[in-house]
Amino acid sequence: MSKEFVRKIIVAVSVMMLFSSALLAQQLPLYSQYMMNDFYINPAIAGTKDYAPIVLGVHKQWVGMKEAPSTQTVSGHTSLYHRTMGLGGILFHDKYGPSSEIGFIAAYSYIFQITRHDKISLGLAGQCYQYKLDQRNFDPTWYDDPSLTYLIEKTVIPDATFGVYAYGKHYYASLTAANLFQSKMKVNQHIKENKMVRHYFLFGGYRFVFEGKKGKKSPDFELEPSIMVKTTELTLPQVDINLKFFIKQDYWFGISVRPGDSFIANVGVKYKIYYFGYAYDITFSDLSNYTWGSQEFIFGVNIGENTHKHRSFF
């Protein structure tokens, strides 16, 4: 396959994702370091931290290929009213081939104290974004599709996300249902059935703490295995198996495996209330002959965090 052929594949997939309800498998942006900003995937996490995190993320998929997916996000959330509620928001821009999306997500959560260390949070988020499809450069050489207009078409899509988040001193478990209303995408009058598909995310992990000398304010080492299961109402589940290792809570490195899809390595460093993370994805598919892989950068600020106390990323 040539790079030009791969480029056409990306364009064709983008069109099929819009025009075929049977192929709406992945309509939401893909992240590699959601362990460091789980608010991306669950609105119930708003307000569950001891600080207000603001995170900038950039994900570039299939580096070296034109028109490959690219996502930029800015998110933040904080607690309210004696840490019983949370508010948060996400600004995002996602582009893949001739398609692009730009929008905003607003989230609210209510937090229930179950025991001294255990809590459950319920969250609801409303989202609204503009979907744009640029058909001006389409070249359907193998057929003449009457549904193509060869114009720039835009539509505004509202929807909602519901999440449940249970967490304690060392564990966390998250369940999310996104695109609750499965809103219709009113693009192209020739297409009658064209809508968003409900997505489900099940995510959980446990952090093992290895204490050093007594009297220290933070542990020397921490090991955090976790697992993510992603699925839609039209596709089989996809599993991420993750393992992250922390040194004095200021440095970390980890690996993730998506069986049959990719291997991900990530590293990060934290200084006071600031932290930086980098992830590199290596794909197992035939695309590995035409791309260097995928990359993701995150930069975060934990506003209000007391760095003199024991701190945690969940």
Whether residue 310 lies inside any domain: the answer is no
Other Cβ atoms closer than 10 A to 146: 7
Answer whether residue 314 is part of any domain. no
Q: CA–CA separation, 38 vs 244, rounded Å?
A: 14
Type of residue at 183: S
Domain of residue 223 covers 3-303
CATH number at residue 298: 2.40.160.40
Q: Which of 75, 68, 74 is nearest to 99 (CA)?
A: 68
Q: Single out the residue of 250, 259, 268 nearest to residue 57, CA to CA.
A: 268
Could you tell me the mean pLDDT of each successive run of 10 residues in the chain, 314 residues long?
47 46 52 89 95 94 80 95 94 87 96 94 95 74 61 87 96 96 74 78 94 67 94 89 92 92 92 95 76 89 75 47
Cβ burial, residue 192 (10 Å; 0-12/13-18/19+) = exposed
Cβ pair 300, 55 in contact under 8 A: yes
Contact status, residue 122 vs residue 163, Cβ threshold 8 Å: yes
In a domain? residue 107: yes
pLDDT computed for residue 262 by the predictor: 86
Amino acid of residue 99: S
Asked whether residue 308 is assigned to any structural domain, the reply reads no
In a domain, 312, yes or no: no
Residue at 267: amino acid letter? V
Asked if the structure places residue 249 within a domain, the reply is yes
The per-residue pLDDT for 106 is: 97
**3 state SS of 18:** helix
Q: How far apart are CA 300 and CA 177, in angstroms?
A: 26
Q: Does 309 fall in a domain? A: no
Q: How far apart are the first and last CA of the chain?
A: 44
Q: What are phi and psi of 182, to 5 degrees?
A: 45, 55
Task: Give how many domains the chain has, as a whole number.
Answer: 1
d(CA 232, CA 197) in angstroms, rounded, equals 7
